[in-house]
Amino acid sequence: MKAIVHAGQSGLEGLSYKEMAAKQPGAGEVKVRLRAAGLNHRDLFLMAGRTPQDPPLVLGSDGAGTIEAVGEEVPPGLVGSEVIIHPCLDWETPEIVPALPAIVGGPSDGTFTESIIVPARNAFPKPAFLTWEEAGVLPLSALTAYRALFTRGRLRPGEHVVIPGIGGGVATYALLMAVAAGARVTVTSRSEEKRLRALELGSHQAFDSQCEWKDEIGGEAADLILDSIGPATFGQYFEVIKPNGRIVTFGASSGDRMEIPVRAIFFPQISIIGTSMGSRQEFEDMLNFIERHSIRPVVDRVYPLQDTVQAFERMRLAEQFGNIGLTIE
């Protein structure tokens, strides 16, 4: 079977489109013939950190397709079912977080391939209203956004959510979900095009990330801020968040290290909360949420599997709005 494999050197230079030996599912597993997959920034981070000594790895955490074979202890009637893959392995409930979650696409082989073997418990029925491309880009970003908003962020209807750096997959899902949940949403971006697109999707306000946030938000202070940027914008958050507000952080696109004014945390009693990905229960809840509200992923562009490098170049340059997908013939 054909696959996108990373080996030999770090970064995008380590990617190649090649033939791999097909495998068969073991006990409790299913083999999914993939129709579509999705890119995540996580893939770029993994490639940057891999060395020539690391074994070959098929990247990709997002995917959807049809079950073509099942292992022992799996009902044979599942063959032919259209499914979407929950990428987090062995994480069952929101409260019990693994020290190091195992994820499809690193350390185990991922979805940038014609077929993948996963535990049967990680193959959920594909929402019928989604296209293959929409289902293929949904899993990891939508799961991360759902946990950030509702499990960790405790979002309630009528609250004001600020989403800096709109355009990426998680931020875009968070916008759609927060609007559906009855929240007021403000987004930021340096790109006017992305700000205008966010307003079309239901954002109540959009402004330039590089301006003075306090002047833009005015009296509409934030109950919740979803941070994927880190030090480049973090200092602004304390200027626009309400007392007892929550900052949920799930990314660090501008770096890992920053200084935080401690008094700006304890005097107004701000909560800074970390999150990443999500459990099997949250994945099921997320799918129910998007079906109930008819939320469709924002698909930026779709590339054939063999053009995965070009797809990652677009992501690396932050040119996309929404998710970048792959079609797998």
Which structure tokens are listed for 249? 């952080």
Dig out the tokens for 182 from the structure: 């009855």
In this predicted structure, what is the pLDDT of residue 1? 93
HSE-CB for 328 with a 13 A CA cutoff: 29
Q: Give me the tens of pLDDT residue by residue for the chain, a chain 329 residues long.
A: 999 999 999 999 999 999 999 999 999 999 999 999 999 999 999 999 999 999 999 999 999 999 999 999 999 999 999 999 999 999 999 999 999 889 999 989 999 999 999 999 999 999 999 999 999 999 999 999 999 999 999 999 999 999 999 999 999 999 999 999 999 999 999 999 999 999 999 999 999 999 999 999 988 999 999 999 999 999 999 999 999 999 999 998 888 898 998 999 999 999 999 999 999 999 999 999 999 999 999 999 999 999 999 999 999 998 899 999 999 98
Q: What's residue 30's pLDDT? A: 98
**pLDDT at residue 254, as a whole number:** 86
| Longest CA pairwise span in the chain (Å) | 62
Distance, in Å, from the CA atom of 125 to the CA atom of 82, rounded to the nearest integer, reads: 6
Is the distance from CB of 120 to CB of 74 less than 8 angstroms? yes
Reading the block at residue 297, the tokens are 């992923």
pTM for the model: 0.96
Helix or strand run (H / E) with residue 284: helix 280-292
Bridge partners, 58 (sequence order): 5
Q: What is the pLDDT of residue 329?
A: 85
264-274: per-residue pLDDT in tens? 999 999 999 99
Per-residue pLDDT, 182:
98
Could you tell me which residues are beta bridge partners of residue 185?
161
Which helix (H) or strand (E) is 231 found in, with range? helix 231-240
Q: Note the Cα 206 to chain centre separation in Å.
A: 22
Q: Could you tell me which residues are beta bridge partners of residue 57? A: 6
- Please give, one letter per residue, the 3-state secondary structure of 294-312: CCCCCEEEEEEHHHHHHHH
Residue 260's CB is within 10 A of a number of other CB atoms, namely 14
- Residue 101: its pLDDT value, please? 84
Distance spanning both ends of the chain, measured CA to CA: 11
Q: What share of the chain is helix, strand, coil (3-state, %, to 5)?
A: 30, 30, 40
Instruction: From residue 234, give the alpha-carbon distance in Å to each of 142, 214, 252, 253.
Output: 23, 13, 10, 12
What are the distances in angstroms from CA 207 to CA 35, 222, 251?
Answer: 37, 14, 20
